[in-house]
Amino acid sequence: MIVAARATARVQCAAPRARRHRSRRHRVARASSGVNDDDASDAAMYEELEKINAANNSKSASDWIGAWSKAITDPPSEAEVEKMRAAAMAAEEERLAEARSYRYVFAHDLLSGSGDSFAGKYLKDALGMIDIELETPDLVCGNAEYTVSSALEKLTAALNGGEGRKERPVRLIGSSTGALVAALYAERNRDRVDKVFLLAPTWGLANILTNFEKSYGVKFSKAFVDDASTLPEYPTVTCPAYIVHGHDDDVSPLDNSARWMQMASQWMRQEGDSDENVAERRLLEVSGLGHGVETALPMSMGRFTEFFKIPRVDLYLREREP
């Protein structure tokens, strides 16, 4: 199991094949966010999270060993096997029905259109395999003077539209600046957002615009720069969150996401959430990739489906490959 803050999972991306590494702890440098750290409090929080993680792992291992031993020493009858199969199918249908009760919305990187995102296309295809629609609203609409705030307005308008859709809870997926837009929406609409899944979010956007200019050769408008300076560095999001971030991201530093995870866990505790809910904050560090971490999505779909409690749709996609 992966838990928030220090205990992160790590994926190795290297051509021609990718290897998944075991979970390991990521050492987080102190972020220059202007937020004062209480080292003693942080240490206690990390220790408590590690204890929760160890207990969960121990219980999972014990349960698996017990089930395996029973299957060897006392194998089930054909009738019992059929009963278990029927129960599993019923549980799967129930899980699918639950998953389909949500709206899934993708917020694209503002530097590209909604139809240009690899993550958006991949997820739309994958979720379509189980009859889940991924909404991909255009947050820029060809406007050269777009800003994060204007993109947030477009996302809000899209989520408020559609007959019978506004009442359904939302699951947000966002990439880069779109991930920031998704987090800002979740901060302002806590009663509507169930979970957020963020790819290389751009925390502290005003402080990293020069990184974008160096890496992508883009020049932001004055309106965009001015707007960025008004945004919170770390939006206060209290719902479960999963972040996928490249280890070598020289645009939006990995440490910023680690810092946000730490803060988010504290916010959830302040809201009175249980340890189980606090553990729903996860950070997947991808080695060998920078800001373009969208390309790691096929490898991390197991995490995506487990987080949203939906079937392994990526396995269906692999079966279709020639």
CATH code for the domain of 197: 3.40.50.1820
Q: Quick check: is 33 in a domain?
A: no
Q: Quick check: is 53 in a domain?
A: no
- Kindly indicate the confidence band of residue 209, based on its pLDDT and cuts at 50, 70 and 90: very high
The backbone torsions φ and ψ at residue 280, rounded to the nearest 5 degrees and listed phi first, read -80, 15
Nearest Cα to 21, choosing from 4, 6, 2, 5?
2
12 vs 276 pLDDT, higher one: 276
- Is pLDDT above 60 for 12? no
Q: Quick check: is 1 in a domain?
A: no
Average pLDDT over residues 259-268: 81
Q: Quick check: is 175 in a domain?
A: yes
- Is pLDDT above 80 for 67? no
Q: Quick check: is 39 in a domain?
A: no
- Specify whether the backbone of 78 is left (phi greater than 0), alpha (psi in -120 to 50) or beta: alpha
Domain tally, the chain: 1
What is the span of the domain harbouring residue 311? 7-25+79-320
Strands 170-175 and 281-287: unpaired
Q: Quick check: is 49 in a domain?
A: no
Residue 37 CA to residue 31 CA, distance in Å, equals 9
Rounded to two decimals, the pTM is 0.73
Q: Quick check: is 218 in a domain?
A: yes
What pLDDT shows up at residue 5? 39
Range of weakest confidence among 65-79, 123-137, 242-256: 65-79
Burial 30-63 (b: 16+ CB within 10 A, else e): ebebeeeeeeeebeebbeebeebbeeeeeeeeee
Question: What confidence tens digit (pLDDT) does each residue in 151-168 have?
Answer: 999 999 999 986 667 789
Q: Quick check: is 268 in a domain?
A: yes
The 8-class DSSP code of residue 293 comes to G
Residue 297 CA to residue 111 CA, distance in Å, equals 19
What pLDDT shows up at residue 238? 87
